[in-house]
Structure 1
Amino acid sequence: MTSRRVTRVRAYAPDPDAPGRPCDMPNCPNMGCYRAPRSRTSLNDYLWLCLDHVRAYNASWDYYKDMTPGQIEQELRADASWQRPTWRLGTNGGPKVPDEAVLRDPLLNLGGRRPNRPDPSEQAPAELRQPLDVLGLSWPVSMDTVKARYKALAKKHHPDTNGGGDAADARIKAINIAYSTLKTLWPADERQMARS
């Protein structure tokens, strides 16, 4: 039976980037193959130590030595955001939260409340409001929806299907006038979209 060979580097293996010089501890004849930070304020400036001295150095290392409890707390809080500055949304350079009237949230993802919006019928052009009301439609609406609604109402209120009479004639006339008004006054860009 053959044993598997471990290919990962052991934790105590010498640093491959070692400068090849003697240990930085005085009177040590061994090679300095392991790095250790000189201090808390200069973590990228290293001492190069031998294995025995780096073990002793690490055992006595205390990053928080000589810090007050307040400084330790501040350091821990800064570590929670990887030493990057943070701030509340809308302050200190973050994007400003828009006014609720400007904010559009149709799926109610941002708080579960609908912002106050104007009545949808008030958004329709003034000349289209009355014809849309006759057809029973509210703004916004597409021309295809207007055509489908007109056909359904014309079929439902046609004098031949209702037995005639003045009321049926007046109703179908109002429906026809509303539809022809919408066709002629409908915004040009939407008419072109409806044709294509």
Structure 2
Amino acid sequence: MQRKSTRHRAFDPDPNAPNVCCDMPGCTERAGYRAPKSRDSLSQYFWFCLMHVREYNAKWDYYKGMTPGQIEAHLRADVSWQRPSWKLGERGGKTFDEEEVLDPLDILGAGRARRAQAARERESQRRHSKYAPEPLRQPLSTLGLEWPVSMDDLKTRYKNLARQHHPDANGGNPASEERFKAVNVAYTVVRAHLSAHMEKAS
């Protein structure tokens, strides 16, 4: 005995359709298919027969009457399901606070260490900015050195930073590579300045 399928086929009339005639003027067929009335009334429907719902859907243009800019804005809003979103690190306008996060493995510790190092470099720059020559202020800040600095101190600091940020020691990390480049440029500038002064002194 073959079992009769009770599965609802996509082109079958809606089982919840009201017992009314098709909304297409002049049509007396029973309505079994719904279609949204407009872009702004997606929960309000026309009820059509199969022929007229196909005709209606073929002409349906959700973006009709919208400018290209409005269409683009609408598509962007659809990415977040038309819900408000905030920049990374913010929640509903409130800045994200790492201290509120339980972090037993200290996953966020690396980020805190980087920010602490950046703060130390800014403070170092603030302290020596009044005394260091203008062209050396940014390079010294990049190297984390204070003015005045000796050639030996410069070389020692450079070697430590080069080992720390070399791409080979960081698995090719792009951020480490950029930091390594900045350290090289800063070292070259400061070394050239010190070398020029040493030549003048001799």
TM value normalised by structure 1: 0.50
Larger Rg: 1
TM-score (norm 2): 0.48
- Which protein has the bigger strand share? 2
Which structure is higher in helix share?
A: 2
